[in-house]
Amino acid sequence: MRALHHCLQRSSTDPIPSIKLLSSLSEALTTNPDLNPRPNPRPPPPPQSSNSPPIRQITNLNNAHFSKSFKHHFPRSAHHQFDKIPQPNLNSEYVDPLSALTGKQASGLDPDQFDYGNALSTCAASQNLNFGEQIFSLVMKNGFFSDGYVVTGLIDLFSKSGRFDDALRVFGENYGGNVVCWNAIIAGGVRNGENLIALDLFRRMVCEFCMPNGFTFSSLLSACAVSGLFEMGRAIHGWVLKCNVKNDIFVGTGVVDLYAKCGHMDDAVREFSRMPARNVVSWTAMISGFVHNEDAYSSVKIFKEMIQNGVEVNKYTLTSVLLAFSKSFMVKETMQIHCWTWKNGLFFMDFVVKEAFINTYARLGELKMSLKIFEEMGLTKSLSTWSAMISGLVQNQMLRRSVELLKRIFHEDLKPDKKCISSVLSIVGDIELGRNIHSYSIKAGLLRDVLVASALFTMYSKCGSIEDSYELFTQMDERDSISWTSMVSGFAVHGHAEKAFQLFREMVLEGVHPDQTTLSAVLMACYDSQFLMKGKQIHAYALRHELGNETIVASALVSMYSRCKILESSRRVFDGISCKDQAMCSSLVSGYSTNGYSEAALSEFHCMVVSGFGLDHVTCSSVLQVCANLSKLDLGKQLHAYGIKGGLMSQCAVSSALVTMYSKCGSIDDSYEVFDEIEQPDLVAWTALIDGYAEHGRGLEALGIFQQMKLNRVKPDSVTYLSILSACNHNGLVNEGVAHFNSMRKDYGIEPEQHHYASVVDLLGRSGRLKEAANFIDRMPVEPDWLVWSALLGSCTVHGDVELARLAARKIHELAPHESVPYISASKISSQVGDWEEAVRIRNAMKGDGINKEPGLSFF
């Protein structure tokens, strides 16, 4: 006994009970039978007089939660006279205890502690806080405030009303020495999400030698499960076994729920199988555990066993099963359970179940069914139902319909909540609409919510206003890991690599631990070889924090090394992961494709298909790019058919890749047909079609498509103008080409690059306007590179301008001394004018400099 007391004293400063402490106390229980808890229903406390001294205080609870001036923390309404209370309007099941209390008061009799305790329990059950506070005033007036039975009722009342601080103050001032008071305050902490406080209260409870019972354990197991404190939960499980309450159905369910929520499904199944009796909560805990661990098949199997065992299903069971169906794309099974629910009349009129069906059908792409259920509900005032429907529309990228639904909410005199606003903002691409929603969020006071604020600055980032995005991010009062990750991703996507790295450092310095999603976001900033060292540092950070083997991080690393053209490292990371997913395989295929290793990309694609992985839009577009480069029209057509069957054609990346593939394989009509089927073609699709017509020598049609693109309010970029200049070049449209070049900076603020200057020089030179091309080079605001001079040299070779060709050749040799182009062109033009000695001299100089001409290739 002394050893036990010493153990308790030594651990009194711990914030939560340690495993060592729990095991020590468990051993003490086995050696001291008198300490073993007995069945402890809610016993009436011993009668006390109104002027009896209060029960002794807990010395360790004198903190901010347990202020001794506790009376002053309650609202004034708590001290109103009880005589003025009207008869409460409650259901019949809550009337009797209150009637007894008011009846005694009216008859001039003094209610006892049981009357007060029962009345307070009734108020807690009906959540009638106002009436309960007035009973509380009478309790204080008549001196029953220190009675354990009454204190338990007060704790229960305040806990169930969301005022856990007040419950703590009540307990701190007048706690009872029995297990019921402790159970009430511990359960209140769990109910209000204060799980660590609940666990600390348990430690103090044990230190006071008040032994727990089954009700205590079920609350503690719930606290550990929600907080992810697996080791602590296992220690509590050890207490359960020592105290021999394992057959309690609520305790057993708590143990199963703990293992399931902490990802130990094998242990959860073992404990579930050992339960002598199971209820609907036990079965639902197993189902939701499998869903949480991404094992939808097992969750459906457990659900079938539950039905076969005749266990009555509740709405939480249904929502868990529907979530499993949505994660596994089980459309048929969803419709079956929909019919089963309708046939048996099980909760189908319940809003929670209907919202679950709306969400499930939306995730499965069956939006018509979601809309049908929503319309059948009529004009509901349930904001959660509206939010479910809006989320479904958002998941299917239906911005217009979701905005219309948002407007309907206002027409119904409802105020959209944070879920509605954040859902719509996630797909808003129009900054003006985003600003309007921003204004409403400020007016409605939603901007303080982390979810809404994160959605807002992500919207600004997606719309290209990265400055507004960052300003909103800096104004946030509270920033979680998701907010940091979103901002880092915004900088990375928009090419602000240094900002992304800086923000990542600030995140670490502020004590926010990056997860695998954050590392994946910051790795996107390493988009070329100049950031290779940063990418390696992030790779090292991931390995040091044991995140390097996570599939999301590994996939991002494969992609990063591929973008930096270090395919050996990309392959090494890929081979080092034992459990590869579809995203990682897609990253490797894409890496080989973008770096010109077409055959290797096809080989990895074949391995991916043989392994049973499906094709996502990234893999499909990458392989289509390979088909375009290798002119593999048959494989491209097969991928086209797969895209139609798999629903990938809605992805603009796939459609654009198909447009390019057909045009490069010589089928420009098929290319246009694919483009015409795109509902809302993006800039990449428009540019691919323009480039296809340009390569096929149909420049006027390419310019016509460009005009249609501008009429559709799609803003061109530098790549689009490169295709336009190519179309003008192939068709001799000199004036049109020069006009489009001038409009780049004038109309759209796009600064021309060396490729654009080279295209204009080639355009002027091919038409014989060599002097004009030379003057254009002299007026360039940037120093021309060897591509520009090569364009002039090629035109001089065609038109026989020897002097200008020698100037261009000299410039190329200065800028790129190892290029063979100037030697070949200068030798060719000397031969054309009959200067064979100069031609031979140039050839010999080329050999003397160690430059070899690459041999020509032919398919014939």
Q: What is the pLDDT of residues 266-275, one digit of tens each?
A: 888 888 888 8
342 domain residue, yes or no:
no
**pLDDT at residue 144 in the model:** 54
Residues 164 and 100 in one domain: yes
Which CATH number fits the domain that encloses residue 778? 1.25.40.10
Cα distance between residue 809 and residue 824, in whole Å: 9
- What is d(CA 282, CA 272) in angstroms, rounded to the nearest whole number? 8
List pLDDT tens digits, range 689-716.
999 999 898 989 999 999 999 998 899 9
- Check pLDDT > 90 for residue 501: yes
Q: Which one of 220, 252, 272 terminates a domain? A: 272
What is the model's pLDDT at position 845?
Answer: 56
Same domain? 13 vs 67: no
d(CA 822, CA 816): 9
Phi-psi region of 40 (alpha: psi -120 to 50; beta: other; left: phi over 0): beta
The number of residues in the chain equals 860
Tell me: do 806 and 825 sit in the same domain: yes
The C-alpha angle 378, 383, 386, rounded to 5 degrees, equals 60
Residue 624: its pLDDT value, please?
Answer: 92
Distances (CA, A) of 659 to 424, 692, 698: 31, 8, 16
Torsion of CA 600, 601, 602, 604, to 10 degrees: 80
Q: Taking 50 as the threshold, does the pLDDT of residue 61 lie above it? A: no
Chain centroid, CA 138 distance in Å: 51
Vertex 660, ends 722 and 651: CA angle to 5°?
110
531 domain-assigned: yes
Assess if residue 17 is contained within a domain.
Answer: yes
CA within 13 Å, CB half, 135: 33
**pLDDT score for 88:** 41
| Rounded average pLDDT over 213-227 | 86
All residues at 6 or more sequence positions from 622 whose CB lies less than 8 Å from its CB, including other chains? 586, 589, 590, 593, 594, 601, 657
Question: Residues of the chain with pLDDT > 90: what percent?
Answer: 19
- What is the structure's pLDDT at 199? 87
Domain total in the chain: 4
Residue 645 reports pLDDT greater than 70:
yes
Q: What is the CA radius of gyration of the chain?
A: 37
Which of 177, 202, 224 is a domain's end point? Answer: 177
Collect all residues with Cβ–Cβ distance below 8 Å to 4 and sequence separation of at least 6: 24, 25, 28, 32
Q: Is 123 found in the same domain as 76?
A: yes
> Is 16 in the same domain as 68?
no
Is 642 contained in some domain? no
Count CB neighbours of 165 within 10 A: 16
Calculate ∠ Cα 602-606-612, nearest 5°. Answer: 145
Question: With bands split at pLDDT 50, 70 and 90, how would you rate the model's confidence at 56?
Answer: very low
Looking at residue 172, its pLDDT comes to 76
Q: Which residues lie closer than 8 Å to 157 by C-beta, 6 or more apart?
A: 120, 121, 123, 124, 129, 132, 136, 167
Is 21 inside any structural domain?
A: yes
- Do 185 and 208 form a contact (C-beta atoms < 8 A)? no
pLDDT digits (tens, 9 = 90+) for 299-345: 888 888 888 888 888 888 888 888 888 777 788 888 888 888 887 77
Whether 564 is covered by a domain: the verdict is yes
Residue ranges of the alpha helices (H) in 345-430? Answer: 351-363, 367-376, 383-395, 399-411, 418-425
Q: Which residue has the higher pLDDT, 111 or 342?
A: 342
Q: pLDDT tens for residues 583-625? A: 888 889 989 998 889 899 999 998 888 888 878 888 899 999 9
Candidates 158, 162, 151, 147; CA nearest to 123 is 158
The label of the residue with tokens 């001036």 reads 69
257-299 pLDDT per residue, tens = 888 888 888 888 888 888 888 888 889 889 888 888 878 788 8
845 shares a domain with 765: yes
Assigned domain for 690 exists? no
Question: Distance (Å, rounded) from C-alpha 76 to C-alpha 68?
Answer: 18
Looking at the structure, tell me whether residues 81 and 201 fall in a common domain. Answer: no
Q: Which residue has the higher pLDDT, 382 or 577?
A: 577
Note the pLDDT tens digit of each residue in 524-582: 999 888 899 999 999 999 999 888 888 889 999 999 999 999 999 999 999 988 888 88
Position with higher pLDDT, 649 vs 859: 649
What tens digit of pLDDT does each residue of 153-188 get? Answer: 777 777 777 778 877 877 777 655 678 788 888 888
pLDDT at 95 over 60: no
Provide the 3-class DSSP secondary structure of residue 722.
Answer: helix
Q: What is the DSSP string of 309-340?
A: TTPPP-HHHHHHHHHHHHHTT-HHHHHHHHHH
The arithmetic mean of pLDDT across residues 203-218, rounded, is 82
Residue 238 shares a structural domain with residue 268 = yes
Q: Say if residue 218 is in the same domain as residue 118.
A: no
- Whether pLDDT at 45 is above 60: no
Weakest mean pLDDT among 64-68, 251-255, 658-662, 807-811: 64-68
User: Domain boundary at 548, 579, 610, which?
Assistant: 579
Query: What is the span of the domain harbouring residue 221?
Result: 1-43+194-272
Does 226 fall in a domain?
yes
pTM passes above 0.85: no
Q: Tokens representing 520?
A: 């994946």
Q: Band of the pLDDT at 505, cuts 50, 70, 90? A: very high
SS (H, E, C) 602-651: HHHHHHHHHCCCCCCHHHHHHHHHHHHHHCCHHHHHHHHHHHHHCCCCCC
Mark whether 130 and 201 lie in a shared domain.
Answer: no
Considering the domain architecture, whether residues 73 and 158 belong to the same structural domain is answered as yes
3-state secondary structure of 377: coil
Residue 122 has a pLDDT of 65
Buried b (16+ CB within 10 A) or exposed e, 624-656: bbbbbebebbebbbebbeebeeeebbebbbbbb
- Of the chain, the percentage scoring pLDDT greater than 70 comes to 76
State whether 12 and 52 are in the same domain. no
Q: Which residues have CB under 8 Å from 296's CB, separation 6+?
A: 290, 324, 325, 327, 328, 330
Half-sphere CA count of 860, side-chain side, radius 13 A? 0
Q: Can you read off the two tokens belonging to residue 367?
A: 């939006």
Tell me phi and psi for residue 857, to 5 degrees. Answer: -120, 155
